[in-house]
Amino acid sequence: ILNVEQSPQSLHVQEGDSTNFTCSFPSSNFYALHWYRWETAKSPEALFVMTLNGDEKKKGRISATLNTKEGYSYLYIKGSQPEDSATYLCAPVVSNYGQNFVFGPGTRLSVLP
């Protein structure tokens, strides 16, 4: 089974702080990487899908970068707000897993007002 790591496991920040977390995955047979945000009592929501080395995606205050050669992606949140509190999941797609995602364990972010 593909080993996908996310760090840190959990994070508490103050409102207004910027933060970032990491998703690490084996770089061989890479095809794409998905980021999801999962708020309590809601469905996981797709944030980004990234495919190319050096990709950078942005959605409001959230952005992500991708390094396929070394096997990592960073997710950045600028000026965190309480509504950003959620678990952030990454899921690489590798060619020998068909269309199946392999999810990391997630980073749980709490933004304190």
Partner 1 sequence: DVKVTQSSRYLVKRTGEKVFLECVQDMDHENMFWYRQDPGLGLRLIYFSYDVKMKEKGDIPEGYSVSREKKERFSLILESASTNQTSMYLCASSFMGRRQETQYFGPGTRLLVL
Please identify which residue in 104, 107, 109, 111 interacts with partner 1, judged by CB under 8 A: 104
Cα distance between residue 65 and residue 92, in whole Å? 13
Please identify which residue in 62, 77, 89, 109 interacts with partner 1, judged by CB under 8 A: 89
Considering only CA atoms, which of 82, 56, 84, 80 is closest in space to residue 68? Answer: 56
Interaction residues for partner 1, span 23-52 (CB under 8 A): 31-32, 34, 36, 41-46, 49, 51
Instruction: Pick the closer one to partner 1 by CB: 98 or 113.
Output: 98
Interaction residues for partner 1, span 56-85 (CB under 8 A): none
Cα distance between residue 67 and residue 76, in whole Å? 14
| Interacting residue ranges for partner 1, rule: CB under 8 A | 1, 4, 9, 31-32, 34, 36, 41-46, 49, 51, 89, 91, 93, 95, 98-106
